[in-house]
Amino acid sequence: MTCKNPNASYRCRLEGSGVTQSDAFKLYCVVRTTKEGNHASCAAKKDPNCAGVVKVYNYDGPTLPPKVTDDARVRQLNERVERENRAFEDKRGEQPKSLFEMGGRAYDASKRGLQGAGAAIGIGAGAKNQQAAPPPPPPPAAQEAPKPQKNFARRSWDCMTSWFRECGKE
């Protein structure tokens, strides 16, 4: 089992009646280790070569009856989850070799995303073929100028810094 923030590796062993190797008990180990170690997250996978610190827990909770764990539908579900996990790990691609390379990839992805967003609303490099709309006419002199609207980013910031008390008032 590997945990992050703070980083650590563990081997989890459960003792108690009815304890078998299953995803339910794996989840029990993950939740308990995450809480006890004050980790941000933990993940477990079956690895006989794990060299982590051994954590032994005594499980005295309910067990699943054998007819549930032997059911073909449950086995098919577990197999499908394993296949999807392997497929997800395969799609991750080549990992960056350095923090600098990872930052460069993030910058490039952000730049592409902003260009795409700009093109979608008609501004920026992606919108060169579109004509700009004519500016709105100035308001008559007798009227008072309207109060300037806060942009989305500013409204979001105000909302978060007020602990969500000032959300949606404008």
For position 165, what pLDDT does the model report? 67
> Is 50 exposed, middle or buried, given 0-12, 13-18 or 19+ CB atoms closer than 10 A?
middle
pLDDT class of 146 with cuts at 50, 70, 90: low
> Is 100 exposed, middle or buried, given 0-12, 13-18 or 19+ CB atoms closer than 10 A?
exposed
pTM exceeds cut of 0.75? no
For position 143, what pLDDT does the model report? 58
Percent of the chain with pLDDT over 90: 0
**Residue found by looking up tokens 């008990």 in the block:** 25
Fill in the amino acid letter for 95: Q
Using DSSP bridges, classify how beta strands 41-43 and 53-58 pair: parallel, antiparallel or unpaired. unpaired
The mean pLDDT of 132-137, rounded to a whole number, is 68
**Residue 155 φ/ψ, nearest 5 degrees:** -65, -40
Percent of the chain with pLDDT over 70: 72
> Is 23 strand, coil or helix?
helix
